Amino acid sequence: MTRALLVLVMLTSTASAGPDDFVQRLLAETRARIDAAIAARPPVLVPPKKIAVKWRLTKVASIDLGAPLLTLAGGNGKLYAVTPREVVALGLQGKKLVELARVALVGERAIPAPRDILASAIVNGETLVVHVSSFATSTSVSWVDKALVATPGTAGFELCPGVTMQLTPGRNYFGDVYTSRCASLVDAEGRALRVRGDVSVANKLTVTSGAQTFEYKDAGVAIELADVDHDGTPEVIYSAAAAPGDADTLRVLSLGDDEKKPKLKKAFTAGGIAGIATVNGEVFVAVRLVGATRVDLWRIE
Asked if 284 and 298 touch (Cβ cutoff 8 Å), the reply is: yes
Domain with 29, as residue range(s), is 2-40
The CB density around residue 248, as the number of other CB atoms within 10 Å, is 23
**Alpha-carbon span 227 to 182, nearest angstrom:** 12
- Indicate whether 129 and 269 sit together in one domain: yes
pLDDT score recorded for residue 133 = 96
pLDDT score recorded for residue 87 = 98
| Residue 13: inside a domain | yes
pLDDT score recorded for residue 14 = 46
pLDDT score recorded for residue 42 = 61
pLDDT score recorded for residue 191 = 93
Show pLDDT as tens, one digit a residue, over the chain (301 residues).
444 444 444 444 444 455 567 777 877 887 777 777 656 666 678 899 999 999 999 999 999 999 999 999 999 999 999 999 999 999 988 878 999 999 999 999 999 889 889 999 999 989 999 999 999 999 999 999 999 999 999 999 999 988 999 999 889 999 999 999 999 999 999 999 999 999 999 999 999 999 999 999 999 999 999 999 999 999 999 999 987 778 899 999 999 999 999 999 999 998 899 999 999 999 999 999 888 999 999 999 9
Q: Which residues pair with 179 in a beta bridge?
A: 199
- Indicate whether 127 and 188 sit together in one domain: yes
Residue 141: CATH number of its domain: 2.130.10
- Indicate whether 144 and 205 sit together in one domain: yes
pTM confidence score: 0.85
**Alpha-carbon span 125 to 158, nearest angstrom:** 13
| Residue 107: inside a domain | yes
pLDDT score recorded for residue 243 = 78
